[in-house]
Structure 1
């Protein structure tokens, strides 16, 4: 059984700007998102999360490492360290690791490489992996401009899209039946209106 009913969201400004308590109003939520954070920063403050003993941990980190020109290996190694530490210190907590989100097309290949490694590694620490790439990326690997004005931070439409994937992933992680809700379809896929 998880340590508590708290759901901890860990990450950078994408997480920090999320209105998690509003969107998950039936849960107790802790937002550990810090603008500008890299994977190194999350490692250095991971003890705060562990001390809170959350029942569920939702991790999204890595995009700021690219701005610092960190290699895919550096990002992957650090995220693996985060996941191993969480599993070791929170053995009964449920962990959801999300793919690094797309940003500009110049970063697409390194983000894909990072995400391939995370997808392969997640099961080894009993973490679920959520791939946000298919929903958020254009064919060239750039973050869909419908979801962002700066190819990095999400707008309200971007958060709606993210939530459309995150909610069912959390239900699956917790072994809950899918809830009834409208299915989100990005513009262009919604069919005739």
Structure 2
């Protein structure tokens, strides 16, 4: 008798459905973005924490999060865009919230530390990840990594919210076309997973297919207004009656 797991069946049809998207269109989109000028690339490395100083900060941030053995009701998981959020200041009717955002993180990094997030035993997780994968041209395998993340974070009655990768306000809209494709694929992935909800954060923060100037500090990260709008979305989700 041959037994095929539900997860393997689900993975197989997703691979069939998304093969062109993941291996073709998504990879093509990122690969064909013309690189920016050398000074822009150097500035981008500093902006997203890819330089030496950023990596040292990232390691310390990871150490701090790993050392926290407390449990939380809600975990915000992601990269520097999540890290910069005022999540622990939100009024959540007594629910505790942890900020597990780390500057420079990719889907690979989230997978590497996913046990730390699960150890916090949150009943709700909000995840935003992927822009660093695309900025670095690491689109190959992106959907497979996202599927692994979703599988390892979901279940046990937990509510998982996958938030859209933010479009950027960088010159030339780089790499917004790839971000839009990735978001469509991740939304489909989330819809096929029980208790997973895709949240389109871009709806509150973008216009004309790019991040609004009024909500960003550098075309990639958010300012106070940007975080206020994002926080309002989180608050509305958490305040909604169960099942809504």
- The whole-number CA distance in structure 2 between the counterparts of 1:33 and 1:112 is 22
Query: TM-score scaled to structure 1, two decimals?
Result: 0.80
CA distances 1:123-163 after superposition (whole Å, capped 9, x unpaired) = 22220110112222221x22111011211110000001112
- Which of 120, 123, 131 is 2:200 aligned to? 131
How large is the Cα RMSD of the aligned pairs?
1.9
- The whole-number CA distance in structure 1 between the counterparts of 2:119 and 2:111 is 14
Q: Secondary structure at the match of 1:57?
A: strand
- The whole-number CA distance in structure 1 between the counterparts of 2:150 and 2:232 is 24
Residue 101 (structure 1) aligns with: 166
Residue 182 (structure 1) aligns with: none
Unaligned stretches of 5+ residues in structure 2: 1-70
Per mean C-alpha deviation after superposition, the further-off stretch among 19-28 and 36-45 is 19-28
Residue 59 (structure 1) aligns with: 127
- Which of 195, 210, 219 is 1:151 aligned to? 219
Runs of 4+ in 1 over 4 A off after TM superposition: none
CA positional deviation for 1:121: 1.2
Bigger share in helix: 2
Residue 107 (structure 2) pairs with residue 39 (structure 1): yes
- The whole-number CA distance in structure 1 between the counterparts of 2:91 and 2:78 is 17
- Which of 169, 174, 188 is 2:237 aligned to? 169
CA positional deviation for 1:117: 0.9
- The whole-number CA distance in structure 2 between the counterparts of 1:118 and 1:66 is 14
Residue 165 (structure 2) pairs with residue 85 (structure 1): no
CA positional deviation for 1:52: 1.6
CA positional deviation for 1:170: 2.9
